Amino acid sequence: MVHGYGNDVSWTFQSTAVFLARSGFACFAADLPGHGRSHGLRAFVPDLDAAVADLLAFFRAVKAREEHAGLPCFLFGESMGGAICLLIHLRTRPEEWAGAVLVAPMCRISDRIRPPWPLPEILTFVARFAPTAAIVPTADLIEKSVKVPAKRIIAARNPVRYNGRPRLGTVVELLRATDELAKRLGEVSIPFLVVHGSADEVTDPEVSRALYAAAASKDKTIKIYDGMLHSLLFGEPDENIERVRGDILAWLNERCTPPATPWHRDIPVE
């Protein structure tokens, strides 16, 4: 499981892992560099490919454990984590993963929060000299992501969450990686479920629709939830969260159910 930008595997993210674990799934997650309890300058990710390589090594070590032999393995990513899951898939063999759950994936940064031209070009130039500078103007991501006011307070109080302005080097790297991903949507061949809120102003639901349309995957599902924001699995009212969780669990269970034996298929059904 891969969290999003500025977040970590605790607080707002861990409730999904707890839900899936209670439903019979073994869940493993790691804080990205510069996030949560990982080392590095807060929210500074100058090389997303290095982060992808680290996560892939971690996930492969988990898969290699004896108790996981023969079990289907799924990728799960929220926001930037969804983009990372797709990058992991594009850098590995398709058969290595049974599928991917992509929650409001950052396949491209939404035009509603993307710096207008020519600011990206200026930021890219300045980042060569001051990559760690936290000076990129952007909207309050908690305000844009979390619908329920009380949950905004909870998210903001996470002591290891990064709430400052984005760092130049991180923004430039995200723009580079998401631009690459947007050009390679047609290469995606893994089975996937993508869920997105129609009112998301952080990542663009239209890009999720583009992923669904362009992907070469034979097994692909998209669900767009009317009126929901970016934080589908924490920031929405509880009934909305249960709806999204239920769709995710149903999709996973359908791909973990062993095929019926021949004598089961021969039993007539009336």
Active site members: 79, 200, 230
In this structure, how many other beta carbons lie within 10 angstroms of the beta carbon of residue 11? 17
Q: Give every CB contact of residue 86 below 8 A, 6+ residues apart in sequence.
A: 77, 100, 102, 105, 107, 181, 188
- Contact of 30 with 9, CB cutoff 8 Å: yes
* CA atoms in the 13 A half-sphere facing the CB of 219: 13
Q: What are phi and psi of 225, to 5 degrees?
A: -100, 120
How far is Cα 152 from Cα 235, in angstroms, rounded to an integer? 7
- Which of 153, 161, 202, 155 has the alpha carbon at shortest distance from 8? 161
- Cα-Cα-Cα-Cα dihedral sign, residues 108, 141, 81, 243: negative
How far is Cα 57 from Cα 63, in angstroms, rounded to an integer? 10
Cross-strand partners of 100: 75, 192
Q: Give every CB contact of residue 108 below 8 A, 6+ residues apart in sequence.
A: 178, 179, 181, 182, 203, 204, 207
